[in-house]
Amino acid sequence: MLLGATKVKFTVIIIFILSFGTNLYCQESVPANALNIDPAGVFFGNLTMNYEHLFGKRHGLFIESGLGKKDFYLAGAGYRFHYFNDEDTAGINSGFFGVFVKSGRNYMQFEGENKKKYDVNLEYLSAGINIGYRYKWGEYFNYSWRIGCAFPLQSDFKWHPADKPEDYKDFQTICKILSYIDGEISIGYNF
């Protein structure tokens, strides 16, 4: 059984509190935190944001959360190793390799061969690796991208109505393949 939404929300809140409560290794004037939001998600009715705290100049702990209409949610955490960074900007302006674990639910609509419409929820738990870059934009802002591969640890489809269409397996296969992709294009604030 997948983690329930309540457990996921509780876990994200605890990680968020702990990330602010830890001692900072980066005591210089270089920002050690970045809070980013996916601007494209707003057009689809979803709000996805992430927070990263840097330890030293190369190590970052990362949490991600998302909510949206139609049963969409996302919660995840991970680690990033920053490379190719400028001493004056630390990991705020650098490339990174990362590992992560995330849980969520994606909502989709499907029209079967019989023209009947179905609501489909895909609940998942996955772990993966990614690579990306965060660019410093002025003193306080950034934009970043990442691409990676997620490996499903668990996934479950829920159909409504429950009588699945004849071609449901093809749809589920496509959804599972797409769930292997991890990505981000975001803008954010450094502090």
- In the chain, the domains with their CATH numbers are 5-190 (2.40.160.20)
pLDDT tens digits along 66-105 = 999 778 899 999 999 999 766 666 788 999 999 999 999 9
pLDDT-based confidence at residue 8 (cuts at 50, 70, 90): low
> Which tokens is 41 given?
């998600």
Q: Which residue do the tokens 């660019």 mark?
A: 135
- DSSP letter for each residue of 118-165: EEEEEEEEEEEEEEEEEEEETTTEEEEEEEEEEEEEEEEEEEESSS--
Please name the residues in contact with 94: beta carbons below 8 A apart, sequence gap of 6 or more: 82, 83, 84, 85, 86, 133, 134
pLDDT tens digits along 151-164 = 999 989 988 888 88
